[in-house]
Amino acid sequence: MKVRAIILAGGEGSRLGVLTAKRTKPAVPFAGKYRIMDFTLSNCVNSGIFDVMIMAQYRPHSLIEHIGSGGPWDLNRDFTGGVSILTPYKARGSSEWYLGTADSVQQNFLFIKRGSPDLVLILSGDHIYAMNYQAMIQAHLERQADLTLATIRVPIEEASRFGILGVGEDYRVTSFVEKPANPPSNLINMGVYLFSTRVLDHALWEDHERGDSSHDFGKDILPRMVQENQRVFAFPFEGYWVDVGTVDSYWKSHMDLLNTPPSFNLNDRSWIIHTKSEERPPVRIMNGATIIDSMITDGCEIGPGARIERSVLSPGVHVGANAVVRESVILTDNVIGNEAVVEHTIMDKRGTVGEKARVGSIRAGFEPVITMVGKHAHIPANMIVEAGAIIGPDVIESEYPSNLVRGSDYIQTKRLPYEI
């Protein structure tokens, strides 16, 4: 049985704010050393699926550089599968930017069906989870399904962000509604679809011919297949799964890693999350530093008297003497100055926080608000950035109107791209 995996990785991810200003959502760093895409790719190879195509579109450069020829995932294969990245292209006729998730697959279907795969597994590149797809494939074959969807239950207050399914006792899907304002249940679509190639080809072409379609799996193809009484079945999943599509879910999923025991175990040697690793020296922790319930990645330097609490530090982060980092996610090569305080903040790569600056805050009795700092942003010494403020990418010292950034402020660079 030949299975080809298609990973949808073209989304802009605008709800992640400054983190996706310069990269696609699946390329956003995660848990110190990974990218979000690593989890879906690792699920494929750990499930014995080594034939993978990735649909990219929005700012794919970081993703393409990260994946390369696929070596870290054992996907650098020329004749028996491997990984390929497909982007929109201009051809004779009506080809254009992808209009929706289904359209991205339909535009590339000539490549997808090359080699005649029996089944096509369609996945999202922006979810954190560990799943063996072989059990789902087996269930699909036993039921002679046209389509099998992976499902999970979420808190009802979060359900409106997802497609909602109704199922019968045999897991056959009886109803599907995409992102309803008032969800009828908390059983959601995980964005993991298994089609027979023949059924997918027919569904995509029929959808392509519809002028009133938004050409999306969740909005169009899945509801239509259920309405037409095709053999659509749910596959229940009970492990850890997060759609890191918002700043809050991105931050919370990092905090989940710091629980005791962690909600998602990165140290499970039976299910390794593969990634492109950087060569970095060991962590250096200086005299008097305190680290509590945190993840510190290779190449970090923690200065004397510094304090790190419930935070994730990516490679090469330097924390100065007597500085404090609490409940924060600090990405690669950031520099936190002496006696600076960073709390409840997500800070993108290669920025600086000056000495004695204060970024974000945690106030007892108040719901915490996340502060965001973009890539290459510089926060001057003695600056106060209140909780909830946003510092955009590439902001420099001269672009701050004062030494106080209010919680409602969004500071953006006024320089032109060629000046950065």
Domain with residue 340: its CATH number is 2.160.10.10
Mean pLDDT for 241-259 is 95
pLDDT band at 169 (very low <50, low <70, confident <90, very high): confident
Q: 51-83, pLDDT tens digit by residue?
A: 999 988 888 899 999 999 999 999 998 767 899
Q: Cβ(47)–Cβ(123) under 8 Å?
A: no
Judged against a pLDDT cut of 80, whether residue 11 lies above it is answered with no
**Distance, CA of 86 to CA of 88 (rounded, Å):** 7
Q: Does residue 276 fall inside a structural domain?
A: no
Which of 257, 292, 320 is at the close of a domain? 257
Q: Which two tokens stand for residue 301?
A: 């330097």
CB under 8 Å to 395, separation ≥6 — which residues? 374, 377, 378, 411, 412, 413
Which pLDDT value is given to residue 95? 52
Q: What is the largest CA-CA distance in the chain?
A: 68
Torsion-angle region of 155 (φ positive above 0: left; ψ -120 to 50: alpha; else: beta): beta
Q: Does residue 277 fall inside a structural domain?
A: no
Q: 396-408, pLDDT tens digit by residue?
A: 999 999 999 999 9
For the stretch 260-268, contacts whose Cβ atoms lie closer than 8 Å and that sit 24 or more positions apart, written own/partner, are 260/293, 264/128, 264/129, 264/130, 264/240, 266/31, 268/130
DSSP code, position 344: S
CB under 8 Å to 106, separation ≥6 — which residues? 204, 205, 207, 208, 215
Q: Does residue 272 fall inside a structural domain?
A: no
| Collapsed DSSP state (helix, strand, coil) of residue 247 | helix
- Let me know whether 79 and 135 are in one domain: yes
Q: Does residue 30 fall inside a structural domain?
A: yes
**Distance, CA of 88 to CA of 90 (rounded, Å):** 7
- Let me know whether 201 and 320 are in one domain: no
Which pLDDT value is given to residue 1? 86
Q: Does residue 264 fall inside a structural domain?
A: no
- Let me know whether 244 and 321 are in one domain: no
Geometric angle at alpha carbon 125, from 372 and 18, rounded to 5°? 15
- Let me know whether 198 and 50 are in one domain: yes
Question: How many structural domains is the chain composed of?
Answer: 2
Q: Does residue 279 fall inside a structural domain?
A: no
- Is the model's pTM score more than 0.85? yes
Q: Cβ(219)–Cβ(99) under 8 Å?
A: no
| Collapsed DSSP state (helix, strand, coil) of residue 262 | coil
Which of 222, 257, 292 is at the close of a domain? 257
CA-closest candidate to residue 240, choices 164, 134, 153, 163: 153
- Let me know whether 209 and 289 are in one domain: no
> Whole-number mean pLDDT of the chain?
92
Q: 84-104, pLDDT tens digit by residue?
A: 998 776 554 555 666 678 878
Judged against a pLDDT cut of 60, whether residue 216 lies above it is answered with yes
